[in-house]
Amino acid sequence: MPLPRTWVRDADGSPYDVDNLPYGVVSTRGTGGDAARVGVRIGDRVLDLGAAARELRPEWTPLLTAPELNPLLAAGPARWAEVRAWVRTLLTDVAHASKLRLLGLDEVTCHLPVRVGDYVDFYASEHHATNIGRILRPDGAALAPNWKHLPVGYHGRAGSIVVSGTGVRRPTGQRKAPEADAPTFGPSTRLDIEAELGFVVGRSVPWGERVAVSDFERTVFGVAGINDWSARDIQAWEYVPLGPHLGKSFATTMSAWVTPLAALAVARVPVPGQDVALVEYLREDEPQGYDITVEVELNGTVVARAPYRSMYWSPAQMLAHLTVNGASLRAGDLYASGTISGPEPDQLGSLMELSAGGTRPFTAGGAQRTFLADGDEVVLHYSAPGARGRIGLGEVRGTILPAR
Ligand SMILES: O=C(O)/C=C/C(=O)CC(=O)CC(=O)O
Ligand SMILES: [Ca+2]
Ligand SMILES: [Mg+2]
């Protein structure tokens, strides 16, 4: 069966074709702007879904005219499928063209797409965990004894999640060189990135219930790009024994576009292989990940291509773990995979790894770098195989502003 074609100019065959259709929240630029509402990206345009609902599906107005995706997320998987099928019809049947409003990407402001409730960050890459473990704990085992028995994670700070394009202020805090007697206070000198994949929860799950690994696809709505900015000097001094805190809570950048799982069916791949027996709630017949690639660009130079398909833990296992103690989920909760690093030296998702703990500078944008300098711009580009060529999952962009 031939794949449906869109009537939207230049969108057919582009990374944002009708097989993709990620959701965002947009308002129109210009005098005063207008109210933020849901939009769908098609080519280099945005379908105003709020306006389409008002005109054509008034019963869906509450889901699609909100300034956040949360009402759509909360509507559940049957509704997600209906809305997606409807959008595809609108964009493939030219009879609808005159009733729709398409906005240029350059005409809109993209807002944080989700009001994030709780945010958890995992540590699911064996390559990353091994590399970081060696750098932070050179005298211990690279992987802690728990690492292959449960997806290690911590609760992050939802309130400092910002949308792609937001400037990131260099944080100030305490840090202590290993040989120093006492800590000092000042701007971080080891500011880093972490290229991650975020999973946006749709279905609410009441307090006391668990999510089985088999319920992943009806619980998670879609994925977003995440940069978990990390101040390595602050982190190294503060993290014992409770884990990451102010070294990470100052900012986390999220892509403007949330790609529904429905768009990623072609990108499903088995995880590389889990080599220890797991307790029952983490057992998945064939744990599946995604063949998503993150290109890490620093000041215009691609410094790494991080392969999500190399992650050890599957997103379904992370979700099952997150709720096994009865913790509830709300529409709009977010969990991130942890830094994506592959086995090769050009597949590392943090500068800490790319610079061997700050000991081996590399070149980006014509200059030497270990960690980030003020004014540096980082862009993470996400893509995956689709039904006809690669699909785009948006970008995560941020420029470092000097410390206050
Ligand atoms: O091993 C540690 O002490 C710290 C690890 C991290 O900083 C990584 C983290 O935030 C989780 C991840 O992104 O993989
Ligand atoms: Ca992280
Ligand atoms: Mg962070």
Asked, for residue 94, whether it belongs to a domain, the answer is: yes
Co-location of 95 and 130 in the same domain: no
In which domain, by residue range, is 380 found?
119-401
Co-location of 274 and 177 in the same domain: yes
Co-location of 158 and 77 in the same domain: no
Beta strands in 234-338 (DSSP E): 252-254, 259-260, 268-270, 288-290, 293-298, 301-307, 334-336
Q: What is the CA(203)–ligand 2 centre distance, in A? A: 24
Q: What is the CA(129)–ligand 1 centre distance, in A? A: 7
How large is the average pLDDT for residues 286-303? 98
Question: What's the CATH number where 106 sits?
Answer: 2.30.30.230
Q: What is the pLDDT of residue 33?
A: 75
| Contact (CB, 8 A) for 192 and 231 | yes
Where in the sequence numbering do the catalytic residues fall? 128
Confidence of residue 84 (pLDDT cuts 50, 70, 90): very high
Confidence of residue 333 (pLDDT cuts 50, 70, 90): very high
What ipTM was estimated for this complex? Answer: 0.92
CA dist 297 to 149, 301, 392, Å? 33, 5, 15
Question: What's the CATH number where 196 sits?
Answer: 3.90.850.10
How large is the average pLDDT for residues 385-399? 96
Co-location of 83 and 216 in the same domain: no
Co-location of 314 and 357 in the same domain: yes
Asked, for residue 350, whether it belongs to a domain, the answer is: yes
398 lines ligand 1 (CB under 6 A): no
Please return the burial class of 227, using the count of CB atoms within 10 Å of its CB with bins 0-12, 13-18 and 19+: buried
Q: What is the CA(113)–ligand 3 centre distance, in A? A: 17
Q: What is the pLDDT of residue 1?
A: 67
Instruction: Give residue for tokens 């956040």.
Output: 68
**CA angle in degrees (0–180, nearest 5) for 62-66-72:** 65
Co-location of 124 and 105 in the same domain: no
pLDDT digit string, tens, across residues 9-58: 999 999 999 999 999 999 999 777 799 999 999 999 999 999 999 999 99
Q: What is the pLDDT of residue 61?
A: 98
Please say if the pLDDT value at position 323 is more than 80.
Answer: yes
Co-location of 202 and 234 in the same domain: yes
Select from 111, 139, 164 the last residue of a domain: 111
Binding site feature residues for substrate:
123, 137, 235, 239, 339
312 lines ligand 1 (CB under 6 A): no
pLDDT digit string, tens, across residues 233-250: 999 999 999 999 999 999
Please say if the pLDDT value at position 178 is more than 90.
Answer: no
Co-location of 234 and 348 in the same domain: yes
252 lines ligand 1 (CB under 6 A): no
What whole-number distance in Å separates Cα of residue 184 and Cα of residue 260?
45
Domain count, the chain: 2
**CA angle in degrees (0–180, nearest 5) for 237-239-244:** 125
Helix-strand-coil percent breakdown of the chain, rounded to 5? 25, 30, 45
pTM: 0.97
How large is the average pLDDT for residues 144-169? 98
Co-location of 310 and 195 in the same domain: yes
| Contact (CB, 8 A) for 56 and 49 | no
How large is the average pLDDT for residues 209-224? 98
Co-location of 101 and 244 in the same domain: no
